[in-house]
């Protein structure tokens, strides 16, 4: 006696088998997937993550000129003289003076520019190294200023305050790997770049200065005579004390 199954029963019997095969295929495909480390290229050292770049920038000093006064105040003359001294020490180009044109204080500003040029010349700035560039004042109600500019080498880092990843718990791989967050060390690098006097000091040391020949000759002469070349201190200095606390 032969048993037969209806087409509906045959389809119901194949359904669990199909589900099992689909689950197996999905499991095999998921096993081949490798999570991509998006933070692998970010260095852990903050000096490499936020490097200090040396580039050319402008140093600017603004001189405020009133409508009825063309001469500079004593503090403004000191600012211009200090500006000229800094130009001689660190400038990589000439001085550019931005003077307001068609401004309410335009006449006073032009008189102040002549005084500024005389101070610069007295400080050793050659006349051919100073250029004047007029600029248009867009807001007549705002007091226009005379700006002194020169290019120089400067150090800069940043910008800071970038947060490409969340600091809290997340599915990002950087959180699980305990990597430093992106902004760590940026403020320190930026402050160091702003405080350094000579940007070249960040790249290479300065050359040694000459020795103090007078002191060296005196020490060598004492050594030749068999005397103690060290300094001599008075008895009051040797017996000095800072405090009697604890006695």
CATH number of the domain that residue 140 is part of: 3.30.1330.60
Q: H-helix or E-strand containing 27? A: helix 7-32
* Of 101 and 241, more confident: 101
The answer to which of 27-31, 77-81, 159-163 has the lowest mean pLDDT is 27-31
pLDDT the model gives residue 87:
95
Position 190 in a domain: no
Position 130 in a domain: yes
The tokens of 206 are what?
């300065």
> Is pLDDT above 60 for 88?
yes
When pLDDT is cut at 50, 70 and 90, the band that residue 42 belongs to is low
When pLDDT is cut at 50, 70 and 90, the band that residue 37 belongs to is very low
Position 240 in a domain: no
Position 145 in a domain: yes
Share of the chain above pLDDT 70, in %: 77
Under the phi-then-psi rule, with left for phi > 0, alpha for psi from -120 to 50, and beta for the rest, what region is 67? alpha
Position 144 in a domain: yes
pLDDT the model gives residue 39:
46
Dihedral sign for Cα atoms in the order 67, 71, 73, 79: positive
Give the bridge partners for 57, in sequence order: 152
* Of 4 and 136, more confident: 136
The mean pLDDT value for 88-95 works out to 93
HSE of 212, CA atoms in CB hemisphere, 13 A: 5
What is the count of structural domains for the chain? 1
For residue range 178-234, list pLDDT tens digits in order: 777 888 899 999 999 999 988 988 888 888 888 888 888 988 998 888 888 877 777
CA dihedral 115, 121, 124, 129 (to 10 degrees): 110
Q: Which residue has the tokens 């101070």?
A: 119
Give the bridge partners for 56, in sequence order: 153
Position 147 in a domain: yes
> Is pLDDT above 50 for 93?
yes
For residue range 150-194, list pLDDT tens digits in order: 999 999 998 888 787 777 777 777 667 777 788 889 999 999 999
| Domain region containing 85 | 53-156
pLDDT the model gives residue 24:
62
Position 229 in a domain: no
The answer to whether the beta carbons of residues 182 and 152 sit under 8 Å apart is: no
What gap in Å lies between CA 204 and CA 188, rounded to an integer? Answer: 20
At residue 42, the 3 state secondary structure works out as coil
Position 92 in a domain: yes
pLDDT the model gives residue 189:
93
When pLDDT is cut at 50, 70 and 90, the band that residue 76 belongs to is very high
**DSSP for residue 200:** G
User: How high does pLDDT run on average in the chain?
Assistant: 81
Spell out a b/e string for 142-155, using b for 16 or more CB atoms within 10 Å of the CB, else e. Answer: eebbbbbbbbbebb
């Amino acid at each position: 006696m032969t048993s037969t199954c209806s087409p509906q029963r045959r389809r119901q019997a194949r359904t669990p088998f199909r589900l099992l095969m689909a689950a197996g295929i999905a499991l095999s495909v998921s096993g081949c997937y490798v999570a991509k480390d998006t933070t692998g290229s970010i260095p852990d050292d903050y000096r490499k993550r936020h490097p200090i770049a040396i580039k050319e920038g402008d140093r600017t000093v603004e001189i405020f000129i009133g409508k009825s006064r063309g001469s500079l105040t004593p503090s403004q003359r000191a600012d211009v003289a200090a500006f000229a001294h800094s130009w001689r020490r660190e400038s990589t180009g000439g001085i550019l003076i931005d003077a307001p044109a068609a401004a309410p204080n335009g006449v006073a500003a032009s008189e102040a520019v002549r005084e500024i040029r005389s101070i610069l010349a007295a400080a050793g700035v050659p006349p051919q190294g100073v250029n004047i560039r007029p600029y248009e004042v867009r807001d007549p109600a705002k007091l226009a200023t005379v700006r002194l500019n020169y290019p120089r080498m400067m150090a800069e880092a940043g910008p800071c305050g970038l947060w490409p990843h969340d600091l809290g718990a997340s599915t990002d791989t950087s959180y699980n790997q305990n990597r430093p967050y992106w902004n760590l060390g940026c403020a320190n690098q930026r402050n160091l770049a702003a405080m350094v006097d000579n940007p070249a000091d960040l790249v290479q040391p300065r050359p040694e200065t000459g020795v103090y020949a007078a002191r060296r000759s005196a020490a060598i002469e004492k050594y030749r005579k068999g005397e103690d070349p060290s300094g001599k201190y008075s008895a009051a200095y040797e017996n000095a004390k800072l405090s009697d606390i604890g006695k």
